[in-house]
């Protein structure tokens, strides 16, 4: 996956006068902070060069992850065509660009971001979205502003890892109260990220939300630690992206996990593929999460006919089998 052409062009223009060494050093500092999930009261992105390093090194991957999550939402919730959006911890506008790419009919977006540095970058980049009226606001996800109007789509991408575990439930509950239709929460595809998503999922289900994706059910997660649920999206690296990250190959795999829930029932699949399939000439071995709330590995052989042909085409994260009955949950 690559950035949309308009976004890629805007990023390239923003970076053209910065030295590679400067961007690489700033990128390394950011990577260290994010991987350690450092919470020291400071913004991860607190100056112009760290903001530019982020859009050079991390924006392509986070865009790919959010866009992949929204594709799963679109598949399960085909009637959902959002016109309005609320994005918290908006950063450089990653979720905005992903949502407008998925749903070109998006008309208005309110982008809430606490860091003035990355907010300015995001506002500048969003000028390339002529069809979306964007309102950028200063705000902290822990102190949701009372003057925000509910929106069709509410997003929170790569933010829960920056707050304390005790704050996850009240934050998710407040964002759900601002959701007219669908909420999407994305986290890094680590075991810690999965646990945060489980916390968010639990809050949403208890509030009566219908699970949309990726889970094909609303029962307790059947995955047991030390295993964890996550997906991966391959990201094409530009020359600058590769050099800033000091990488040798022209791609990287961004691992992510998310939860999407709606006030309306969705058509969830019979199963979701939870790992890269293992296939041979006459057999496919798949790790599945199933609509009945179970998970495990299945072996599908050529004797299974159409099921085998579908399994042979399946990839990590794909739905498998036709839609089941509507996802569980109470109307909210």
Mean pLDDT within 162-180: 96
In sequence order, which residues have a C-beta less than 8 Å from that of residue 51 and are 6 or more positions away? 45, 92, 117, 118, 120, 121
Looking at per-residue pLDDT, the higher value among 11 and 325 belongs to 11
- Of 219, 241, 262, the residue at which a domain comes to its end is 262
pTM score over 0.85: yes
Domain match, 187 and 287 both: no
Query: Does residue 253 sit in the same domain as residue 111?
Result: yes
Cα torsion 305, 307, 309, 313 to 10°: value is: -170
- The residue from 262, 280, 309 where one domain ends is 262
* pLDDT tens figures, 172-188: 999 999 999 999 999 99
Residue 197 located in a structural domain: yes
Q: What CATH number is attached to the domain comprising 47?
A: 3.40.50.150
Number of structural domains in the chain = 2
Instruction: Return the pLDDT at 247.
Output: 63
| Same-domain pairing of 24 and 155 | yes
Residues spanned by the domain of 256: 5-262
Do 38 and 167 fall within a single domain?
yes
The domain boundary residue, chosen from 227, 262, 297: 262
- Report if residue 309 sits inside a domain: yes
List b or e across 176-186, with b for residues whose CB sees 16 or more CB atoms inside 10 angstroms: bebbbbbbbbb
The pLDDT of residue 15 = 81
pLDDT at 330 over 50: no
Coil/strand/helix, residue 7: helix
Q: Identify the weakest region by mean pLDDT among 13-27, 146-160, 222-236, 272-286.
A: 13-27
Distances (CA, A) of 306 to 141, 271, 284, 287, 301: 47, 15, 12, 18, 10
Peptide bond into 143 cis (omega under 30): no
Residue 132: name the closest of 101, 154, 89, 156 by CA: 101
Instruction: Specify the pLDDT at position 34.
Output: 60
**Do 241 and 278 fall into the same domain?**
no
Same domain, 252 and 280: no
pLDDT above 60: residue 118: yes
pLDDT tens, position by position, 256-284:
999 999 999 999 999 999 999 998 888 89
Identify the pLDDT of residue 224. Answer: 94
């Amino acid at each position: 996956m690559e950035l949309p052409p308009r976004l890629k062009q805007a990023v390239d223009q923003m970076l053209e006068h910065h030295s590679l060494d400067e961007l690489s050093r700033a990128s390394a500092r950011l990577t260290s902070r994010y991987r350690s999930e450092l919470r020291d009261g400071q913004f991860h992105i607190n100056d112009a060069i760290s903001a530019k390093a982020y859009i050079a090194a991390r924006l392509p991957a986070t865009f790919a992850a959010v866009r992949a999550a929204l594709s799963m939402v679109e598949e399960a919730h085909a009637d959902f065509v959002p016109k309005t959006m609320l994005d918290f911890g908006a950063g450089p506008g990653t979720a905005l660009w992903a949502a407008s790419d998925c749903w070109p009919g998006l008309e208005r977006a309110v982008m809430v971001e606490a860091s003035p540095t990355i907010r300015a970058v995001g506002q500048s980049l969003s000028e390339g979205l002529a069809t979306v009226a964007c309102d950028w606001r200063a705000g902290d996800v822990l102190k949701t502003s009372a003057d925000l109007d509910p929106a069709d789509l509410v997003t929170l991408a790569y933010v829960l890892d920056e707050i304390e575990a005790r704050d996850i439930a009240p934050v998710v509950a407040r964002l759900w109260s601002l959701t007219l239709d669908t909420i999407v929460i994305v986290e890094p595809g680590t075991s810690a990220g999965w646990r945060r998503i489980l916390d968010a999922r639990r809050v949403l289900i208890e509030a009566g939300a219908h699970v949309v994706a990726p889970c094909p059910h609303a029962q307790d997660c059947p995955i047991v630690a030390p295993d964890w649920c996550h997906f991966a999206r391959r990201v094409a690296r530009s020359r600058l992206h590769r050099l800033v990250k000091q990488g040798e190959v022209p791609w990287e795999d961004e691992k992510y996990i998310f939860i999407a829930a709606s006030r309306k029932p969705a058509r969830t699949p019979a199963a979701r593929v939870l790992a890269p399939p293992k296939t041979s000439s006459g057999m496919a071995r798949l790790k599945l999460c199933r609509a009945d709330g179970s998970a495990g590995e299945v072996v599908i052989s050529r004797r299974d006919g159409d099921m085998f042909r579908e399994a042979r085409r399946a990839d990590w994260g794909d739905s498998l089998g036709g839609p089941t009955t509507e996802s569980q949950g109470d109307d909210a």
